[in-house]
Amino acid sequence: MAERAALEELVRLQGERVRGLKQQKASAEQIEEEVAKLLKLKAQLGPDEGKQKFVLKTPKGTRDYSPRQMAVREKVFDVIISCFKRHGAEVIDTPVFELKVNDRRILDGMFAICGVPDSKFRTICSSVDKLDKVSWEEVKNEMVGEKGLAPEVADRIGDYVQQHGGVSLVEQLLQDPELSQNKQALEGLGDLKLLFEYLTLLGIADKISFDLSLARGLDYYTGVIYEAVLLQSPAQAGEEPLGVGSVAAGGRYDGLVGMFDPKGRKVPCVGLSIGVERIFSIVEQRLEALEEKVRTTETQVLVASAQKKLLEERLKLVSELWDAGIKAELLYKKNPKLLNQLQYCEEAGIPLVAIIGEQELKDGVIKLRSVASREEVDIRREDLVEEIKRRTSEPLCTC
C-alpha cells in the first residue's frame, strides 16, 4: 500500500507539472515529454479495484452516430449539396496530400543499434521529428549540443533517418546486417512490408512514402505511425511558400485504452487527428494568392431577359430547368439590364445564357447564347434541356 501511495503522489505531482507547463504555454515538445512521463507513471500504477470504475462519457453537447445513422446523414447531405450546386452554390476544393508512414518499433530498434541510451529515446525522437522543417545539421546540433548525444551516435542515426521511399526501402532495410538483427525493428519492417502489399493491391502505393524521419514523439504509439503532408508545387509569383507542416497525423496504440480497463485488457487501436485549422489556412492563402479567374459554381446556364416586365417568364423557365436537373440561375432583380446579365455570366464563368424576349415568347423559342463565342441560336423551348445538356456535356442532376 505504501508503494502504491508513493506512486499516486508521483502521478499527482507529474499531473500538476503538465498543467503548469500548459498554463505557461511551454513548447509542445516539452509538454509531450512530460505527458509521456505521466502516462508511464499511470501505467505503473495500474487498476485499483477499490476505486470507482473509469467510465467513458460522450462530451456534453455532442453525440455519437451509428453506421446506420451516418449512412442516412451522408445521403441527406448528398441531396443538399447537389441541390445547392444546381442553384449556383459555391464549393472550394482542398490541396493534394501525401501520406508518410513509419513504425515506432523500427525507430526504437534503429536507436538501439545506433547506441542511443534508453533514457534518451523519446527526446531524440522529438529531434528527429523536426527533419521535415529543418536541416539534418540543425537536428544533429540539437541532439549533440542540447541533449548530450555522442556525435558518432548522431551520425549513425543520420545515415538512417535521411532515407525515404517505398517498399524497396523496406526490403533494403530487411537486409541491413544490424537492423535485421533487432527484434523490434524486424517486426516493424515485416508489418510495413505487408502494409505496402495491401497498398499495391488497392492501387495507392505511389501515394505513400516510407519516411524514417517520421518520429511521432508521444510514448503511447506501439506500431505504425503516419502523417499527411501537403504536396507543394513551386510557389507562384506573389504567393508565399506554405509552411504549415502536417495536416493530419496518428498511429497505432495498443496499450493506451487498456490503462483505463480495470482488468488491464489489451485493446488494439488506431487513431487519426486532422488539423482542420491548418487546412483552413492553406485554402485561404491559396484563394488570396490566386489571380486568374476561377469558376466557383457549377451553374450551366443563366436565364436572362432582353426586355422589362419578364420576371414571371424567367421564373417559369428557371423552374422548368431545375425540374429537369439543369443547374440554372437568374438575377434576382425585377428588370435587370441584359448587359448586366451577360457581364455576370462572364464574371462567374457560366457558359450559357438562355434569353427570353417578347419575340421569343411569340415564336415559342429561347435564344441560347454561348458566353465564350457570343454566338446565339434560337432553340425550341421543348428542346432546350437536351441542347444545354449536349453543350455542357454534364450528366443531369436528379435531386
Phi, psi of 342 (to 5 degrees): -65, -40
SS (H, E, C) 383-398: HHHHHHHHHHCCCCCC
Residue 216, marked binder:
yes
Number of Cβ atoms within 10 Å of the Cβ of 192: 23
215: left (phi over 0), alpha (psi -120 to 50) or beta: beta
Helix ranges (DSSP H) in the chain: 2-23, 28-45, 67-86, 104-114, 121-128, 136-141, 151-161, 167-174, 183-202, 276-289, 311-323, 338-348, 358-363, 384-392
Residue 221, marked binder:
yes
Number of Cβ atoms within 10 Å of the Cβ of 79: 12
d(CA 10, CA 120): 21
Give, as one character, the DSSP assignment of residue 309. S
Phi, psi of 164 (to 5 degrees): -155, 150
Residue ranges of the annotated binding site are: 216, 220-221
Binding residues for L-histidine: 216, 220-221
